[in-house]
Amino acid sequence: MEWASWSEFWSMGGYGLYVWGSYGATFIAILIEVMFLRRASKDTRRRLKRMQQWDLSSSGEAQ
Amino acid sequence: MNLYTFSSPVNFYHLSGKLIPWFTALAILFTLAGLYIGFFIAPTDFQQGEAYRIIFIHVPAAWMSMFIYLVMAFWGAIGLAFNTRMSFMMARALAPTGALFTFLALWTGAWWGKPMWGAWWVWDARLTSELILLFLYIGIIALWAAIDDIKRGDRAGALLTLIGAINIPIIYFSVKWWNTLHQGASINLMKAPTMAKTMLIGMLVMAFAAWFYTLAVAFMRARGIILERERQSEWVKAILEKD
């Protein structure tokens, strides 16, 4: 174990800002990508579903 | 079943659906293991103190930024040569994640450069060529978005990807070809590693985590693209009906 205490861990030998600035940004970036991706996938399915129902109902009227 | 089975969108769709949870689980496991090794087992660097711990994301992110681009170029070339549908879809699915890792390599580099070099940014060959890589990713994504015709967009994007691939060896060898502030390659296959073994293992474990993460998100994105492009086919209609 490298650290005597949690405060020592968070201070990273005085480089805390830089270390956590890097890890924090990475965490946020990945969170944003995953969130956007999930929402986009859901939106795509919903939109395609709507288009399909619209196609079905309009072809039904034509008959 | 043969090698071509998964080049058909319907097979890929079903297989990737089964694989994504595994890739996600592996990405999480490797991340936790990598962070544990990186923060609790790897020793303090005798020159850089604790600041070097940025390496555990910086190097994997930089590797992925180049590697994803090469994979995109590979799929682009296959698509242009054989006109295979899945190849272009994979290239499109990978690009945003490649751009993300390029951004993270630059960002974590800046936050490492500031305490070590005294500057967030310098116009040295390694940093500049990596910035050009980010612009390439953005340019390719913008080109795809600008061309409504899917086939023409696919081909134009693939062509730009292939032309831009010249930048990858430039990034990789920049630290050899020019006098840069940036340090040399972290891993050299020809020489024994110069860093502590636990540092090296932590970096490799994080690289695997980045790999599995990329597979999971790229496959998710590819599935969306498949549904969109194959929406007239019966199997997609059947899937949507169940929604």
For residue B171, pLDDT over 80 is answered with yes
Quick check: B190 pLDDT over 80? no
Tell me the one-letter amino acid at A12: M
CB contact under 8 A, A12 and B108: no
Residue B179 near residue B90, CB atoms below 8 Å: no
Establish if A29 belongs to a structural domain: yes
**Model pLDDT, residue B1:** 47
ipTM of the complex: 0.89
Average pLDDT rounded to a whole number, residues A4-15 = 91
Which of chain A's residues have a Cβ under 8 Å away from the Cβ of B42? 2
Query: What's phi and psi for B49, nearest 5 deg?
Result: 60, -140
Q: Which residue has the higher pLDDT, B189 or B106?
A: B106
CA distance B175 to chain A (A): 23
Residue of B nearest to A26 (CA): B104
Count of domains for chain A: 1
Q: Which residue has the higher pLDDT, B144 or B192?
A: B144
Nearest-5° Cα angle at A20, B168 to B210: 40
The 3-state DSSP class for residue B233 equals coil
Contact (Cβ atoms closer than 8 angstroms) between residue B23 and residue B211 = no
Question: Does residue B2 carry a pLDDT above 50?
Answer: yes
Higher-confidence residue of B7 and B161: namely: B161
pLDDT of residue B4: 64
Phi, psi at B180, each rounded to 5°: -115, 160
**Beta-carbon separation of A52 and B61 below 8 A:** no
pLDDT at residue A31 above 70? yes
Q: Hey, are the CB atoms on A22 and B57 less than 8 Å from each other?
A: yes
Optimal mutation site among B52, B54, B225, interface A, most CBs of chain A within 10 A: B54
**Residue A4 has what pLDDT?**
87
Per the structure, the complete domain to which residue A18 belongs is given by: 13-62
- Rounded Cα distance between B160 and B72, Å, is 11
**A7 domain-assigned:** no
Rounded to whole angstroms, the Cα distance separating A17 from B181 reads: 22
> pLDDT over 90 for what percent of chain B?
77
B5-51 pLDDT, tens per residue?
Answer: 667 899 999 999 999 999 999 999 999 999 999 999 999 988 888 99
Q: Is A16 within 8 Å of A10 (Cβ atoms)?
A: yes
Q: Tell me the average pLDDT of chain B.
A: 92
The encoded tokens of residue B186 equal 């972290």
Q: Is residue A45 part of a domain?
A: yes
Query: What is the average per-residue pLDDT within B134-139?
Result: 98
Contact B115, A15 (CB under 8 A): yes
Question: Is B51 near chain A, with CB under 8 Å?
Answer: yes
Contact residues, chain B, for A13 at CB < 8 Å: 44, 49-51
Is the pLDDT higher at B192 or at B135?
Answer: B135
pLDDT in tens, B63-95: 999 999 999 999 999 999 999 889 999 999 999
CB B92 within 8 A of CB B224: no
What would the mean pLDDT of B198-217 be, rounded to a whole number?
96
pTM for this model (two decimals): 0.92
Q: Running DSSP on this structure, what letter comes out for residue B39?
A: I
The pLDDT-based confidence of A56 (bands split at 50, 70, 90) is confident
Domain residue ranges in chain B: 20-41+50-242
Contact B157, B91 (CB under 8 A): yes
